[in-house]
Each structure stands twice: as C-alpha cells, then as structure tokens.
Chains A and B, each alone.
Chain A
Amino acid sequence: MEYQTTYIILAGVFGLFMAWGIGANDVANAMATSVGSKAITIKTAIIIAAIFEFSGAILAGGEVTKTIRKGIVDPDTFVNSPELLIFGMLASLLAAGIWLLIASKKGWPVSTTHSIVGAVVGFAAVGIGFDAVHWGKVGTIVMSWVVSPLTSGIIAFLIFQSVHVLILRTDDPLKMAKRYVPFYIFLTAFFMTLVTIKKGLKHVSDIHVSSSEAYIYAAIIGIVVAVIGAIFISKIQPDKAKEKEFHFHTVEKVFAVLMVITASGLAFAHGSNDVANAVGPLAAVVSTAQSGIIGSKAALNPWILLVGGIGIVIGLATYGRKVIATVGTKITHLTPSRGFAAELGASMTIVMASSTGMPISTTHTLVGAVLGVGLAKGISAINLSVVRGIFASWVITIPAGAILSIVFFFILRAIFG
C-alpha cells in the first residue's frame, strides 16, 4: 500500500485534534455539575478530569473504539479496496472535528458521538454503497441514544429519592448523611471498577479475571474508597453561623465529599465513551494501513487509546480550564446532594454503554440524569426549551456529519486514489 505512513500520521493528527476538542469543550459539561455546586474547586476539577478521563479512555474505551472501527461499516465491502476505508475514516474524523468546531462557535449543543457516527455512516452509505453499512448495528446505536438518557434519568431519580427518604426528610439529616453517604461512595466505586474489570481490561492487557474475582476486586476497591471517604466525612464540623442561614449547609458539605467521587466516576465514564469513539476511526486507519486487511483480528493498538487520552488532557490544559471556570460561575444552585445523584446516574449508564460498545452521548445522558433529579423535585428550575433544543440538535448533527464526511471522502479519494 502506498502512502501507508502518510495515512497513519494524518489519522493520528486528526484523532488528536478530535480528542483535543473533546478535552476543550465536552469535559466542561461533564465537570459542570461538580464545579457549579462548589463541591470541588476548578483546580481540583481539572486534576480529576485529567486523571480519570485519561484512565477511562485507556482502561475502558476499547469496546466503543471497536464499534466505530469495524461495527458500523461492513468490512467485507472493502476487501478489494482497503484504501477506501482509510479515506472514509480520515474523512469522518475531519468532518466530525470541523462540525464540532462550527457548532461550538455558534453555541449549538451538539454531540461528539452523533457527529462521528453520522460521519462514518455517511461516507459508507454514499461513498461506497448502501450495503456497506451494518444497518442493524446503526439501528441499535440510534436506539441507545434514546435509551441512555431515559436510563440515566430513571437511575438518578431513584438515587435522589433514596437521598430524600434516607437523609433529607429525616429529623436529623446530618447524622443520617454521615451514616449513609459512605454507602453511596461504595456504590460508585464498586460499580465503576466492576464494569472496567469485566469489560474494559481485556483490551489493554492479557490478565484474565474471572467473574467472581471481578466482584471481589470491585468490592475491595469500593470498601477502600468508602473508608477514605468516611474519614473525610467524620472530620466535617457543623458551621453554626452558616447553618442559621441555610440549615442544610453542613449536610451538603458531607455530600460534597461524595461528589468528588462521582465527579471522578463521570470523568472516567466520559473518557471511556467519548474519547474512544473519537479515536475509533484512527484505530480503523492504523489497523488497515498496517496490515492491508480490513477488520483484522489484531488487537487494538494501546497507543491509539493513548493518543486519545493525551489529546483530551492537552485540550483540558489549553482551553478546557477556561470553559470549566465559566461554567462554575454560571451554575450556582445545584447543590452536591443533587449533583452527585445526576452524576452517578449518568456515569453508571455511560460505563454500562461503554462496556457493550455503544457510542452514546455523554452530554445527553447527563441531561437525562439532571431531568431525573428534577422529576424527584430536586431542582428549583429546569429550562425545558433548552432541553428540547439539546435533543433536537442530534437530528441536525447526523446529516451534517454525514454530508461533510461524504465531501471529504471524495476529496481524499481524488488526492490519494
């Protein structure tokens, strides 16, 4: 194959650009609830985001990467012309990257995931042929876009209802918060670890963990994190002056400890899904260019996920900091008892989706979770017209991503083909 190195370098650069864009823009959405509730400072948010986005991408991003790489298009179609797949995937990266750039300049709430999936489907269906697309798989992905906000909404609703009953509506909310919050911490750490061990690890290492072992390891990690959290919680002293103004001041401080954990969980979940689907096309280009075979059985190159992880951290450092700071000053009335429930509902849903290879929208899932908390009477005001706009935007994003990728596909084919 000619230009082999060129393709890999181009894909690497485009993939890095996508990951940078996610770090610069999307991470702010994931961290917004935490910073806005003042549970963590902006500096802490950035450190948490950097560490957990990175590890999420590396440890749990393999399955989603696989879906984008060879789940949407039918590899058989490309057997005689592997270059076409390379052009298509490069075009998809470019299309999604540029579409996201336009959208964020215009302030449109679009999803990275939807852009990439739209782009891949677009080039395959128009550039190659209608049969080049695994329509069944695409149908499942689209279904998951409907199901994921619903699921996260239901989980967040139930979690927040339990907070109402167990803690907030009791006669001594502070005592109850100190008693029950460590359990929520355990739940968060346990769930994240379990899914990662069971579904994510196989893509980066040869260690085989049996199902029962996975549960034991996850429980151990859950307990360790919960104990550390409980130590921090036990140090919290009631602030009488502040409590006079707002009786739940100290209670919320207990939830703030929990929120550090759920924020980490959400950053991890975001890394596992969004970064992975951004580097999926890169993975497709690299494996095809190296082997000349489509959809090769060769394992995912770990450095590909690394590119995604590094890109997101650079994005955070260069631009994401400012975005998170702006967001932090804007959201002021989402207290930690609410924020944690939304984050936990969203991150559970996202990590589950990641483990089954479903590229879903992190932001939509978080929006669903916030709505769930709202339905449990947790949020003083939710702007429904904005919510409608958010859900309507994916209807525009898919054709936009598709059209752009078709254009780039034909341009690339004309240059290299």
Chain B
Amino acid sequence: MVNIISEMLGKSPVQPIQDHIGVAYECTQMLPSLLEAANLNDWDKVAKVNERIRNLEHDADKIKMKIRSNLPKSLFMPVPRQDLLELVLVQDKIANITKSIAGMINQRKIQIPTVMYDEFMVFVNLCVDAAKFAKKSVNELDELYETGFRGAEVKLVQELIDNLDEIETKTDLKQHAMQSELFKIEKEMPPVDVMFLYKLIDMVGGIADMAERVGRRLELLLAK
C-alpha cells in the first residue's frame, strides 16, 4: 500500500546527523584512557580501547553513508544539501583522526615523556571538550529546523559556537606549549620517537580544529 503523503516526505537527515556527531564524540572520549594505559605499559588495554575506537569509527562511517544515500538531489530542503553533506564530512573527520591516533599509539607503543605527561593530558581533555561542544552545537540542529533557522534559537546556537571557538583557541595555545616542552627534551630521546610525538601533538590538536570547523559549517546554515 502506497501512501502519497508519506512517500512525498523524504527521510529527514536531522536525527542521523545528530547521531553521527554523537558517535564521533564517543570516539574522542576513549582517548584519555588509551593514553593512560599506554603510559602504564598496559598494552592489552591499549589494544582493547583501540579496537573500541575502530568499531565506533566504523559505526560513524556507516551512519555517514546512510545520510548520503538518503539525500538524493531530488530533495527539497530548507538548507542546501551540499552544506549538510559537508557538515557530516567534517564531523566524520573527528572520528577518523581519533582512529588514526589510537592506531598509531597502539602500533608504535608510543608513551608520553613523564615530564610533560600531566600537561599533555590536560591538552587531550581540552580537545575532547572541543568535540563535546561540537556535539552540543549539532544537537541543536532539530531545534534549528523547528524554527526555520531564525529567531531566538539562532542566538542560542551562536553562543554555543562562540564557546566552541574559545575552547579551540585554548587548545591552540596548549598545542604550542606542548611543542615547546617537547623541543626542550627532544635531544635526549630517540629521533624517530620525537618525530612521532610531534605528529601526535598535531593530530590531537587536529581534533579541536575539526570540532571548530563543525561549528563553522553549522554557522553557515544559520540565516543571516
């Protein structure tokens, strides 16, 4: 039995997009425990957490594919289809980077030098926070649709995005501080390890960068 009205209403991408950022954020949440376990030489746990992150990233990919296939060109939507697709793409990168970080630590048995460990964990948690704020902002998507991307709700979302920007600025400073710390001790360490530590710092900072870009993408949807 075909019902005309139900056929005409396409599948709404809103909930899937919110689910997607939820999974991406869940990925980043695993990172602190993974780094902790690595520094405690608990490589079994590192492998386990790495596996979790891989699975979550895979889930995020599946949601991403589903969103894409449910957004054919024949849809009429309040916001451009391309903007939504790009939002999902950036969200997905949060999960992707996290997976790469976890894989690298697991494979190369990377440990954070003790002198910079505490500060590094602050840095990681700050980046996870950025992802959390990205999720919070994207979770307002259904409310934005409800109000046609205008009015009081837009102000609320703008505030969330501003918060996200602030956190990202903090992570930038922290990232810089981490690089300076590492520079001080790099001569006493095996060069390859140092290389990968620099890379790790960049990648962790990349999570916050992507979170900020999620905010930028969301901002584009708001009516000016």
Contacts and interface: CB of A to CB of B under 8 A. Distances in A.
A380 B3 contact: no
Contact of B75 (A109, A323, A326, A383): A383
Contact of A164 (B1, B2, B12, B148): B148
Contact of B6 (A171, A331, A335, A387): A331
B147 A381 contact: no
Contacts of A381: 9-13, 71, 75-77
B195 interface: no
Nearest to A170: B152
Given A380-B13, A380-B78, A381-B75, A169 B7 contact: no
Interface string A193-228: 000000000000000000000000000000000000
Nearest to B76: A382
Contact of B78 (A107, A379, A384): A379
A36 B8 contact: no
A371 B9 CA distance: 10
Contacts of A383: 7-10, 72, 74-76
A246 B142 contact: yes
A249 B48 CA distance: 39
B4 to A, nearest CB: 4
B120 interface: no
Contacts of A28: 3
A252 B1 CA distance: 29
Given A381-B75, A382-B75, A164 B150 contact: yes
A112 B3 CA distance: 14
Interface of B: 1-15, 71-72, 74-78, 142-143, 145-153
B153 A169 contact: yes
Contacts of B149: 377
A173 B148 CA distance: 14
A240 interface: no
Contacts, number: 125
A334 B9 contact: yes
Which 8 residue pairs are nearest across A and B when measured between Cβ atoms?
A169-B151, A381-B10, A107-B2, A377-B78, A377-B148, A380-B12, A333-B12, A330-B6
A367 B4 contact: yes
A331 B4 CA distance: 11
Contacts of B148: 164, 168-169, 376-378
A335 B146 contact: yes
Contacts of B153: 169, 247
A123 B14 CA distance: 50
Given A168-B151, A169-B150, A382 B8 contact: yes
Interface centre among B9, B12, B76, B148 (most CB of A within 10 A): B9
A390 B146 contact: no
B142 to A, nearest CB: 6
A367 B1 CA distance: 18
Nearest to B140: A247
A60 to B, nearest CB: 23
A381 B80 CA distance: 11
Contacts of B9: 36, 331, 333-334, 370, 379, 381-383
Given A323-B1, A370-B5, A381-B13, A246 B143 contact: yes
B156 to A, nearest CB: 9
Interface string A93-104: 000000000001
B31 to A, nearest CB: 26
Interface string A363-374: 100110011001
A343 to B, nearest CB: 11
A327 interface: yes
A386 B1 contact: no
26 contacts: A32-B5, A36-B9, A107-B1, A164-B151, A169-B152, A169-B153, A247-B153, A322-B1, A327-B5, A331-B5, A332-B12, A363-B4, A367-B5, A367-B8, A371-B76, A377-B149, A378-B78, A378-B148, A380-B78, A381-B10, A381-B12, A382-B76, A383-B9, A383-B75, A386-B7, A386-B8
Given A164-B150, A326-B3, A381-B77, A387 B145 contact: no
A127 to B, nearest CB: 31
A387 B75 CA distance: 10
Interface centre among A323, A334, A381 (most CB of B within 10 A): A381
